Structures are given as structure tokens and as C-alpha cells.
Structure 1
Amino acid sequence: MIFNGIFMVYSSILGFLVGLLSAIFLTIVSFLIHFVWDVIPQQFDLPVYYPLIFGLIGGLLVGLFRLRIGEYPKTMDETLHEFKTTNAVKYEKQLSKNFFSALLVLSFGASLGPEAALASILGGLVSWVGDRLKFTLANKEQFVKLGIGAMLSTIFSAPLAGISEPLEEELSRRTVKLKWKKILLYSLSTFFGILGFTLVQQLFPKEAVFDIRITTIDWSYQVLFLIVPALFSGIIFGYLFLAFERLTQKIAGKINRPIVLALLGGLAIGGLGMLSPYFLFSGEHELFPLSEEYLRFTAGFLFLLAIGKAFLTNLCFAFGWRGGKIFPAIFSSAALGFALANLFPYTPGLIVGIVVAASVTIILKQSVITAALLLFLLPLQFFPGILLTCLATKKIAVLADKYVNNL
């Protein structure tokens, strides 16, 4: 019981430090993005094609970094896999590589998120602490998962994301016996993570992050006829996102020249950035303005934005601009939802929520975690529909996989 109490204290401290680190990292990224994409063009009166210039400069830097240093930042899956296979996450001479590679990729407009870099940095820090406090392997692995859960809760403004991982595990085992101790640890780390994140955020101007604003909610019976089309639109888009992932990896494997690949990625970033700034960056800051402006765009543009953003995200990653895919996956799915809402303006928030929930469930292959991430993306009135969509999508995906395997 004494050890459990100490473990709870360490979990709380870990969560608080994760929140601080996540907020500081995101603040640095926001500052660099503002400097590169706002300050420099205004100060030097750059031509309209400056996104191409920045894309190619970023591509050259990313290519050189990858050629000389390696493939960084590591992803969450790579971090957890490394921990399970080597009993640790490397931190000597690794933290700086993950940190600066992520700043480089995110600052130059890649359609990728910060969660990959944060997970790898957190994993290294937890391993460093664990080596000095001589925790057992099981406890160190628990700390890595606690840290990642707290990080997801803070950057997505989704408190339940921290405890969704153990819930997902229990559901996958088809049992309702929840381990309350694990839930408590995740809850503590999440609470203190949000506390640390909020303290840092109070020091800087606030921006609407990871938010879709629905000013008025007018329920309409016509939405009943759109629920199934929205569900399957989201499922199809999720599989399309994964298809883009396989396609871009195949193309990258054939070229297999880091600098050329990174330059091509920068060219794609710059070219699409000239069409619309919505193609740039991870999407957490762009969700809010898109939700306010989507009626100004045609459904065709929103559809192309969804497809283009999904393709660019996977192309960036495969071509050496490494980062997280969760933020852009949510943004591109939301753009598809707004395209449907543009065509059929019946309770648009619910339609967007269903499309995003179905798509992201397919991409992440996890229903509870997806629902937890989307908890505060839309008004709470839509959350029951989002949760049911996630669960239904997971069932449909399982049936589809069985059907394909039996062919």
C-alpha cells in the first residue's frame, strides 16, 4: 500500500510535468510558425508564391537532417515498440534530435501534429527517471503510457483521453472488470497534466485550439436520413486515408533518396499552401475558423480540402517530414463533414461529428480513444451520437476485416 501511494504521487508529478512540457513545446511551435509564415512575409514583402519558397527551404533542411541524423521524431507506436523490445526508450543524444526535428517539420508548414515528438520526448524522459529510481520494467512501461495519456488529454483538451487507453484494453478483452487502480492513476496524471498545461497557457494569448464552434443548434428531422450516409462517408474516408498511407510509403520506397523526397514534400506543402492556408500545419488551430467559414466555401472545395489534406499528411510523413497524424486526420475528416453539411444543412454539427468519429475510428482502429478525443470537439449534445458512431464503426470494421480475410 505504501508503494501504491508513492506510485500515485509519482503519477501526479509526471502528469504535471507532461502538461508543462506539452504547453511549452506547443508555445514554441506556435511562435516559430507565426515568425516564419507571418512576420517574415510581412517584413520582406515576399511574393505570393512564398509558400513554395518556405516549402523548398524546409524540404532541404529536413532532407539534410534526415540524411545526417536519421528519421526523427519517433512516432508513438515506435516509442512504445522500442520500450517493449528494449525495456527502455533511448534518451542519450535522442531528446534533442526528437525536439529539433519536430520544430523543423512543424515550423515549415507540414500537415502533421506534435503528438509524435512529445511522445518520444516523454518516453525518453520517463526512461531517464526510471533508470535513476530503479523502477521495474512493468512500472516504467506504465509510466510511459501514463505520460502519453496525459499528453493526449492536454493537447486535445479531452480530459477522458487519459483514461481511454485502459478502457479500450478492457473492451478488447470483452470484459467489464475495470481495474480501478489503473483508472485512478490515469485520472490523476490527466488531472495534473491539464493543470500544468493550463498554468503555462495562462501566460500567453489564448487561441481557439481543437474546437468546432456551432453557434446555434437547430434540430431537424431531415438529419435522420443523413445519419447512415454520414456514417459510411466517414468509414470510406478513413479507409481512403489509410490507402494514402500505403500509397505514399510505396512511392517513397521507390525513390529512396532522403533529400529528393524531402524536397518533393516541401514542394507539395508549398503548392497546396498557395491554394489555401488550410492545407498547412496540423489543423488544431484551423478547425475553429473553418467551422465559422465553411458556408463561404463550395462543397467541392471542402471535399478537395479533405482529400488534399489527407494525402498531404501521409505524403509528408512518408517523404521524411515526420510527425503525428491524429490532428490532420481529424481536420481532414471535419472538412468532409462540412462538405456534407454544406450540401445538406440539417443539424450540421451532428453530421460533422458522425463523419469525424467514423473516419478517425477507422484510422486509429480504436473506438473509445476516438470518442474520448472528440469529447469537446463539438457541443456535448452531440457526444452520445459520436460515441455510438465510434462503437458502431468498430463493429463494422471488424466484420469487414473478417469478410476480407475469408475471401
Structure 2
Amino acid sequence: MKFNSVFIAYSVIMGFIVGLFSALFLAIINFLIHGIWEILPAYLNAPSYYPLIIGIIGGLGVGWFQRFMGPYPRTMQETLMTYKTTKSVPYRHQLSKNFFAALLVLSFGASLGPEAALSSLLGGLISWVGDRMKLTLAKKQALLELSIGAMLSAIFHAPFAGITTPIEQPDPEDTAKSKWPKIILYGLTTLFGFLGFILVNHLVPKETIFEIRMPKIAWDTTVLWFLLPALLLGLLFGYFFLWLEKWSDLLAQKIGKPIILALIAGILLGLLGMVSPYFLFSGEHSILPLSKDYKLYSSLSLCLLALGKTLLTNLSFAFGWRGGKIFPAIFASATLGFAFVRIFPYTPGLIVGIITAAGVTVILKRPLITAALLLFLLPLQFFPIVLLSCFISAKLDKQIRQRLVKNY
């Protein structure tokens, strides 16, 4: 598809609006979290079981919403699938449901991220804009993909995440000559998305650090013996995450009652929140302090944190607390990496990077976007090996799946 100057202008403006919208949405979520989890308990002199109280209240609220409003917010995959099948993303009476469902889930501490809600809101917004501007179906789809790329780049602080789609998932009609203009357009949209995001963050400051800060890098050749085990551990974590996802869905189908399901998830969230605050929220703001303090915990404690976070994320989603899984998957895989380097402390940042890269690649099935998301999470010196780990993991994952299909 050729992009004329008018569509390029639409894309750039939309990218800027996406950045503004994403930052404002996160600012609202952080304001509510601050009120529910910091101001209110301080004012009430809340007891130690306060997370359980909030989990129960949140579970009842989420359950009521799921029972009477439906499965909201829609996920990124559902938004894209809806567009591909219906050539539009519903927005009448849908935007408010996605918005308020996301506020409810995220502000009450769900171990889920905001990307699901943002993609559904952006999908509806772009369909509304496309209908009024009489854009073709192809251009509406391109605008939707551009906007989601800009959103991912902004909220994950990953400037190159927005240009991975035309590289990893090219249009069959694209040629080598036509691919580069598309990549440049994705890059421009992402750039203006960042500008919009930064503008709001400048006006409404909030903690946006998304990185792992390890001790000063001291290269140790002993680490070479642990590169392959780290990669295999990351792969196993990815498969465990996906298995728990399917198991949680099956369990939710057997119970089948939205209010009971959401209440169970809320109770589990509250109980684990009483054990450690690291179980709460998506992990975006928790990964930095954990990377500084992981030596204060035993390897077993860190393993249990990683596995518990994975269980809570998938159960919460399946039981009605719907949201994004990318942030929690990164947090849990990195935590497993911290557990590994507590036993084998050789160039720890590199080991954590490999385990995280392998695990998230298996979950997302997109090595390039995984590498882009992890680019500034880890020290830049490790990025070439992290990138290589993503592609090796994707290759091994593909071969394993092919063999499984062939044998069964």
C-alpha cells in the first residue's frame, strides 16, 4: 500500500495523540493507585490485611462488571482480530466500558499491564476517526497498527518497538522497495508518540523508570558455562507461563460464574499482596528496586516470587481481571534470572538478560519486538547477546513445536 502525504500527516498526528492519550491514561491509573494503596491506608491506619480487603472489594467490582457488562477491557489480540474479521473496532458504547473496566482492574492492584486496555481504546478511537475521514479499510488497519506500535513504544520506553511490525510481520504485497517507506512511517509515528508521551509526563510527573540496574559490569569468563543453561531456563519459563495460561482458562470455564471467579482472583491477589508487594501491579515500577535488592532474598524466595507472579497473572486474567501480560511476564522472567544469579553470580546482568529474553520470546512469539522491549531495560553492553538469544529462542521454539505436531 502506498502512503500519500495526507495519510502520513494523519499518522504523525495520530501518533502524537496516542502518546498523549497513553500518558494521560497511565497518569489517571497511577493517581488512583496512589489513593487506594498509599493515601487511604495511611489515613485509616490500615491493618496488615488491608491488601485482602482491597482484593475482595476489587473482586466483587470486577465480577459485577464482567457479569453485567461483558469481558472488558478487550485485549490487544482481540482488538486486532476483531478488526481483521469485521473490518472495524466497535466504539459506540464500547469505549466507556473498556475505560472503566481497565480503571477498576488496574487501580485495585491486578498483576496485569495497561497495554490491553490502551489497545482496545485506541482501536475504537481509530475506527471512529477512520469512519469520519472516509479512510479505506487498508489505511484504517495501517493506522491501527501504527498507533499500537507507538503505544507500545511509549509505555515500555522502547523507541524501536514501533518499527518491528513491518519487519517481523510484513504485508505479503510489500516488496523490498516498498518496505522501507513503511518502516520510516512507523518510525515517525513512534517518534511523535514519544513526544506526546513525554509532554504529558513533563506536566504530570510520575515514576516511569523501567530498567534493571545491576552492579557495575565485571566480565567473568566463567559465565560462558552458564549461557546455555540460562537460555534453556528461559525457554522452560516461557512454556510454563503458556501452560498456566491454558490451565487457568480451562479452570475458569469449569467454574463459569463471573462474580465467583473474580472474587477468587481478588482474594488470591490480596493474600499474595500481604506476603509481598511485588505480587501487586504489573511490575513496571517494581523491577528496578528488585534489581537493586535481589541479594537480600534467597534463591528459593525469588523462584517462588517468579512462579507466584506467573500464576497470579494468568489466573487473574482468566478469572475476569483482564489486562496485559507483557509487563508481568518480563518481571517474572527477570525475577527467575535473579534467582539463578544468586547461585551462579557470574556477570549477573548478562544471565538475567538471556533468561528474560528467552522467556518473553516464547510467550510473545516475536523475537524482534522482544529485543526492542528489552533494549533499555538492560545495560546496552548486553544487547547484542540479548538480541541473539531472542532469535535462538524463537528458532528452538519453532523446532520444538514442529516436532510436537509431528509426533502427535
Q: TM-score, normalised by structure 2?
A: 0.97
Counterpart in the other structure of 2:19: 19
Paired residue type of 1:8: I
Change (3 A) 1:166 1:286: same
Whether the aligned pair in 1 keeps the contact of 2:279 and 2:305 (CA below 8 Å) is yes
For the residue of structure 2 that corresponds to 1:284, the secondary structure is: coil
Taking every aligned residue pair, what percent have the same amino acid on both sides?
Answer: 59
Whether the aligned pair in 2 keeps the contact of 1:158 and 1:375 (CA below 8 Å) is yes
What are the within-5 Å matches in structure 2 for residues 158-197 of structure 1? 158-170=158-170, 179-197=179-197
Counterpart in the other structure of 1:287: 287
Whether the aligned pair in 1 keeps the contact of 2:89 and 2:127 (CA below 8 Å) is yes
Q: What is the rounded CA distance, in whole Å, between the counterparts of 2:295 and 2:86 in structure 1?
A: 51
Paired residue type of 1:203: L
Change (3 A) 1:70 1:104: same
Q: What is the rounded CA distance, in whole Å, between the counterparts of 2:144 and 2:2 in structure 1?
A: 22
Counterpart in the other structure of 2:115: 115
The answer for unaligned runs of 5 or more in structure 2 is: none
Q: What is the rounded CA distance, in whole Å, between the counterparts of 2:280 and 2:199 in structure 1?
A: 28
Shift of 1:2: 10
Counterpart in the other structure of 1:360: 360
Shift of 1:359: 0.2
Whether the aligned pair in 2 keeps the contact of 1:170 and 1:178 (CA below 8 Å) is no
Whether the aligned pair in 1 keeps the contact of 2:27 and 2:206 (CA below 8 Å) is no
Paired residue type of 1:335: T
1:391 lines up with 2:378 in the alignment: no
The answer for unaligned runs of 5 or more in structure 1 is: none
Counterpart in the other structure of 1:129: 129
Whether the aligned pair in 1 keeps the contact of 2:255 and 2:261 (CA below 8 Å) is yes
1:103 lines up with 2:103 in the alignment: yes
Paired residue type of 1:302: L
Counterpart in the other structure of 2:278: 278
Please give the per-residue CA displacement for 1:70-125, whole angstroms capped at 9, x wherever unaligned: 11000001000111111110011111111110010001111000000000000000
Whether the aligned pair in 2 keeps the contact of 1:208 and 1:288 (CA below 8 Å) is no
1:337 lines up with 2:326 in the alignment: no
CA RMSD of aligned residues (A): 1.7
1:46 lines up with 2:21 in the alignment: no
Whether the aligned pair in 2 keeps the contact of 1:167 and 1:178 (CA below 8 Å) is no
Change (3 A) 1:375 1:176: farther
Q: What is the rounded CA distance, in whole Å, between the counterparts of 2:110 and 2:248 in structure 1?
A: 15
Q: What is the rounded CA distance, in whole Å, between the counterparts of 2:100 and 2:301 in structure 1?
A: 34
Counterpart in the other structure of 2:402: 402
1:235 lines up with 2:235 in the alignment: yes
Paired residue type of 1:218: A
Shift of 1:208: 4.3
Shift of 1:281: 0.3
Counterpart in the other structure of 2:83: 83
Shift of 1:172: 10
For the residue of structure 1 that corresponds to 2:85, the secondary structure is: helix
Q: What is the rounded CA distance, in whole Å, between the counterparts of 2:117 and 2:172 in structure 1?
A: 27
Whether the aligned pair in 1 keeps the contact of 2:12 and 2:188 (CA below 8 Å) is yes
For the residue of structure 2 that corresponds to 1:104, the secondary structure is: helix
Counterpart in the other structure of 1:59: 59
Shift of 1:204: 2.7
1:351 lines up with 2:351 in the alignment: yes
Q: What is the rounded CA distance, in whole Å, between the counterparts of 1:185 and 1:2 in structure 2?
A: 11
Q: What is the rounded CA distance, in whole Å, between the counterparts of 1:63 and 1:218 in structure 2?
A: 50
Please give the per-residue CA displacement for 1:310-363, whole angstroms capped at 9, x wherever unaligned: 110000000000000000000000000010111111111101100000000000
Change (3 A) 1:234 1:172: farther
What are the within-5 Å matches in structure 2 for residues 319-338 of structure 1? 319-338=319-338
Q: TM-score, normalised by structure 1?
A: 0.97
Please give the per-residue CA displacement for 1:228-283, whole angstroms capped at 9, x wherever unaligned: 01000000000000000011111100000000000000011001101100000001
Counterpart in the other structure of 1:306: 306
Q: What is the rounded CA distance, in whole Å, between the counterparts of 2:141 and 2:400 in structure 1?
A: 33
Change (3 A) 1:3 1:246: closer
Counterpart in the other structure of 1:202: 202
